[in-house]
Amino acid sequence: MNELRARLERHGQEQLLRFWDELGEPERERLAGEVGEIDLDLIDELVANLLEDEPAAAAAPGEIRPPEAARPGPEDVLAGRGMLAAGEVAVVIVAGGQGTRLGFDGPKGCYPIGPVSDRTLFQIHAEKVVALGRRHGVSVPLYVMTSPQNHAETAAFFDEHGGFGVEKLRLFVQGEMPAVDRSSGRILLAERGGVALSPDGHGGTIRALERSGALAEMADGGIRTIFYLQVDNPLIAIGDPGFLGAHRRAGAEMSSKVVRKTDPAEKVGLVVVRDGRQEMIEYSDLPDELAERRAPDGGLELWAGSIALHLIDVAFARRLAAGGTRLPFHRAVKPVRFVDEHGNAVEPEEPNAVKFEQFIFDALPLAERSLVIETDRATEFEPLKNAAGPASPETVRARLSAVYAAWLEEAGVGVPRGEDGLPAHPVEISPLVALDSAELAGRVGPGLDVTGPVLLS
């Protein structure tokens, strides 16, 4: 205890032990454990550099231009299928976030989003992984990143549903970072015997994979490429062979899928090339001048909007982990519940704290080679972020229905549409029935009569 106090005093963080004398033995043990996990040198550095403001990434010098983006060709598709059949691909879904904007009571992956069946995000992703394995005659491993805040609930959910049929399923837990008081930089207590901790951002993925032994397990099992996605977008073509093959054939270490940005104010990260290296600029760091730059054809010059979908080679991830590479931390100013110096719980309405998070895309400039593949927004990008408005349950369900209805039409099935051009009835197709329109065409005939909601599962 004296040692702990001395260590905290050296860093000006002794307030964490303010209520020590009132705590029982188990609470003390927990608090000492939490404090012991905090890298206080790192907190000193982050408080010194990030408490006030973050230097805008885009303000760094250098010439910024758009990346060259390819559309995969038939040879890429063949190469990607070969990678899948050889069992070289694992899927990693990051699901450790707090989903504050959605405001759902539970892990976001448990949100019921299927337009007809209310399938959850986790079920849709897991069924895709199962179907992908069947198609290629392998068992594709699925790794799901949780956080200490939602791990137990996520694990119970997968258990309850038998992992949705995924044979090689493994959950791994990401790290946490303490929140600090916005004006003093002092770490906050969430309760008398507990630090205010929150997940360290999706940039914690590689470290969490390493710490959990998952990276070594992947390498031992012959996995060479990680298909990385966020839990919130159910449209992702998991295991897209064209993307995989193009990445491998280009000798890339980390690749990204992007959509064409048309609205300068759209809230997506931007993939750019600065001085020959690819990187991503988060929308909050993007100066208007860059966002609004026009190409000669009148379109946006910096057009490559990230859909947060990456391929990450296992060897690259291991190199970063072994070299102790630290991705930069970003600041987020948020309201954080805390106990004040009198021990009273305070629920602030205004942002009182700074949280520190890492982003996975900051690994991009560290890759020797990176590839950017363009995809269609209409078929592959509609993430669940908000409770209402854009990127909300309503828009995600509508988009899923629209995509599945188009598959039915490609299979020769007539789908009634309203005056707005949208399907008149919700449509849902389980990934176990078909992963794409071509597969569906082999499963249904034009005889299918659509007179109400359609669920194929």
Instruction: Give me the residues that bind ligand UTP (CB under 6 A), please.
Output: 94-101, 108, 145, 147, 174, 199-202, 230-232, 385
Which tokens is 31 given? 């608090």
Q: Compute the least distance from the CB of residue 102 to ligand UTP, in Å.
A: 6
Distances (CA, A) of 99 to 150, 386, 447: 11, 9, 42
Beta strands (DSSP E) in 301-434 are: 304-313, 329-334, 338-339, 345-346, 353-358, 370-374, 427-429
Tell the burial category of 349 from Cβ atoms under 10 Å away from its Cβ (0-12, 13-18, 19+).
exposed
The CA–CA distances, whole Å, from 87 to 135, 154, 255, 305, 318 equal 12, 26, 19, 30, 19
Shortest separation between residue 327's beta carbon and ligand UTP, angstroms: 12
Q: Which is nearer to ligand UTP, 197 or 434 (CB)?
A: 197
Pick the closer one to ligand UTP by CB: 90 or 231: 231
Provide φ and ψ at 409, rounded to 5°: -65, -40
DSSP line for 173-230: E--EEE-EETTT-PBPEEETTEE-EEE--GGGHHHHHHHTTHHHHHHHTT--EEEEEE
Distances (CA, A) of 254 to 210, 250, 359, 371: 17, 11, 14, 7
Q: Which is nearer to ligand UTP, 94 or 189 (CB)?
A: 94
Structural contact between residues 104 and 111, judged by C-beta atoms closer than 8 angstroms: yes
Output DSSP code: residue 55. Answer: P
Alpha-carbon dihedral angle through residues 239, 243, 244, 247, given to the nearest 10 degrees: -160
| Shortest distance (Å) from residue 157 CB to ligand UTP | 14
The residue among 174 and 255 lying less far from ligand UTP, judged by its C-beta, is 174
* Smallest separation (angstroms) from ligand UTP to the CB of 122: 11
State whether residue 69 is helix, strand or coil. strand
Q: Which is nearer to ligand UTP, 141 or 204 (CB)?
A: 204
Q: Which is nearer to ligand UTP, 235 or 411 (CB)?
A: 235
Write down the least CB distance from residue 352 to ligand UTP, Å: 17
**Which residues make Cβ contacts (< 8 Å) with residue 392, sequence separation at least 6?**
384, 385, 386
The smaller minimum CB distance to ligand UTP, of residues 348 and 416, is found at 348
Residue 233 Cβ, how far from ligand UTP at the closest point, in Å? 8
CA triple 181-185-186, angle to 5 deg? 70
User: Which of 95/402 has CB closer to ligand UTP?
Assistant: 95
Q: Least distance in Å: CB of 93 to ligand UTP?
A: 7
Q: Of 232 and 382, which CB lies nearer to ligand UTP in the complex structure?
A: 232
Give the shortest CB-421-to-ligand UTP separation in angstroms: 30
Minimal CB distance residue for ligand UTP? 97
**Shortest Cβ 82–ligand UTP spacing (Å):** 29
